[in-house]
Amino acid sequence: MGLKQRHIVRGLLALMLALAACSTPTPMRTGLNRVAPPSPVQRCMNLSGALEASYEGEWGYRIRLEDVDRLAAAGFDTIRLPVKWSAHAGKMKPYALDPMMLARTDEIIDYAISRGMNVILNVHHYSEMNKRPRRHERRLLGIWAQLAEHYAGYPDALIFEVLNEPRGAMTSARTDALNDKVMTVIREEHPDRWVVLATADWGSLRGLLGSKPPLDHKTILSLHYYEPFDFTHQGAHFLTASPPSGKLWGKAKEMKAVRRDLGSAADFRDALGAPLLMGEFGVYEDVPLADRARWVKAVRIEAEAQKIGWCHWGYATTFKAYDIEQERWIGPIRAALIDTPLPLAEVSTAP
Ligand code: GLC
């Protein structure tokens, strides 16, 4: 190749790189931390199955304030509150939020904060978003504008989470761009509030690693971890085709896979300089208890070893840690979550 041709090739390459940079869906925000600060959330429980349903009680559980006390007493510092806001917002502009629902979230949030806990308030089960994002993004922005206004001036212990588990038409690029728009709305009233960003592909590791999140000084990366899915979701009644029961977990190579997965998530966090929260992890409640506890303990300990904050899914309904019928903790799950960390190698007794 002659000098002139080389110049042309170099010029073309530079042009391609410049175009690629322009087409990056969401530019990273400035003000990013050089070293990832610790996650403000260390040990958290998803207060799932209540406001997550279309109406509270639909799935047989209503949040009692003593549940918050129980979690605080057990050593949890945070509750994640999944709320199906799309079932409590108008269909047309301005997508008005139901004041009764806001009063209910206020009650739980105020109480938890008064007990020294953080609360992550999210938008859960907005499944239409994954099919017709263009139309529903407008509505989500309207929902966030109202939540941002309603919770203006709240203590830092209130944390927002943009959207649970985008998937389908909510590709990584679309999710990054949506995060950016929602952050702009939230930041008007909440310049310094922690915000957990949505990650595509069900919040999975793949979704996280494929994201270009619009980070700033108070954003938290998120990962949902249910690997291997065939183990954690075996027999799950809410899946149309649930994986068959009888799957075991706990061999050395399976443990290594957890370490490798969480290690890649931690490397991504360190490269980006934002804290990371494993916002959901757990095992379906019909899986034999010893197997469930083994997985929960191993994943929890590995997360702590990698300085990843975590939030168990869930509390008293699916994937539960607490038995509301008997009004008592499911001992092995509680112990798996709260006992002192141990090196991963010491955890398994599985074959
Ligand atoms: C997600 C879903 C929830 C499900 C959980 C475990 O959070 O929204 O419904 O129970 O993952 O699969």
**pLDDT tens string 193-203:** 999 999 999 99
Quick check: 10 pLDDT over 50?
Answer: no
Does any ligand 1 atom lie closer than 6 A to the CB of residue 318? yes
Give me the pLDDT at residue 53, please. 96
Quick check: 31 pLDDT over 80?
Answer: no
CA 89 to ligand 1 center in whole angstroms? 21
CA 119 to ligand 1 center in whole angstroms? 18
CA 174 to ligand 1 center in whole angstroms? 21
Query: In ligand 1, which atom is closest to the CA atom of 280?
Result: 7
Does any ligand 1 atom lie closer than 6 A to the CB of residue 126? no
Which residue's CA is minimally distant from atom 4 of ligand 1?
A: 318
Quick check: 17 pLDDT over 80?
Answer: no
Query: In ligand 1, which atom is closest to the CA atom of 282?
Result: 6
Give me the pLDDT at residue 350, please. 39
Which residue's CA is minimally distant from atom 8 of ligand 1?
A: 125
Q: Which residue has the tokens 């952050």?
A: 183
pLDDT digits (tens, 9 = 90+) for 102-155: 999 999 999 999 999 999 999 999 999 999 999 999 999 999 999 999 999 999
Give me the pLDDT at residue 12, please. 47
Out of 124, 223, 233, mutate this one to test ligand 1's pocket (max ligand atoms within 8 Å of CB): namely 124
Give me the pLDDT at residue 39, please. 85
Query: Average pLDDT over the chain, rounded to whole?
Result: 89
Out of 54, 85, 164, 234, mutate this one to test ligand 1's pocket (max ligand atoms within 8 Å of CB): namely 164
Does any ligand 1 atom lie closer than 6 A to the CB of residue 285? no
Does any ligand 1 atom lie closer than 6 A to the CB of residue 46? no
d(CA 17, CA 21): 6
Query: In ligand 1, which atom is closest to the CA atom of 236?
Result: 12
The mean per-residue pLDDT over the stretch 194-214 comes to: 97
Contact of 212 with 177, CB cutoff 8 Å: no
With CA atoms as reference, report the closest residue to 283 among 346, 330, 236. Answer: 236
Which residue's CA is minimally distant from atom 6 of ligand 1?
A: 313
In the 3-class helix/strand/coil scheme, how is the chain assigned residue by residue?
CCHHHHHHHHHHHHHHHHHHHHHCCCCCCCCCCCCCCCCCCCEEEECCCCCCCCCCCCCCCCCCHHHHHHHHHHCCCEEEEEECHHHHECCCCCCCECHHHHHHHHHHHHHHHHCCCEEEEEECCCHHHHCCHHHHHHHHHHHHHHHHHHCCCCCCCEEEECCCCCCCCCCHHHHHHHHHHHHHHHHHHCCCCCEECCCHHHHCHHHHHCCCCCCCCCEEEEEEECCCHHHHCCCCCCCCCCCCCCCCCCCHHHHHHHHHHHHHHHHHHHHHCCCEEEEEECCCCCCCHHHHHHHHHHHHHHHHHCCCEEEECCCCCCCCCEECCCCEECHHHHHHHHCCCCCHHHCCCCC
Contact of 224 with 281, CB cutoff 8 Å: yes
Does any ligand 1 atom lie closer than 6 A to the CB of residue 313? yes
Q: State the pLDDT confidence band at 55, using cuts at 50, 70 and 90.
A: very high
Does any ligand 1 atom lie closer than 6 A to the CB of residue 165? yes
The pTM assigned to this predicted structure is 0.88
CA 149 to ligand 1 center in whole angstroms? 28
Which residue's CA is minimally distant from atom 12 of ligand 1?
A: 233
Give me the pLDDT at residue 136, please. 97
Which residue's CA is minimally distant from atom 3 of ligand 1?
A: 125
Does any ligand 1 atom lie closer than 6 A to the CB of residue 222? no
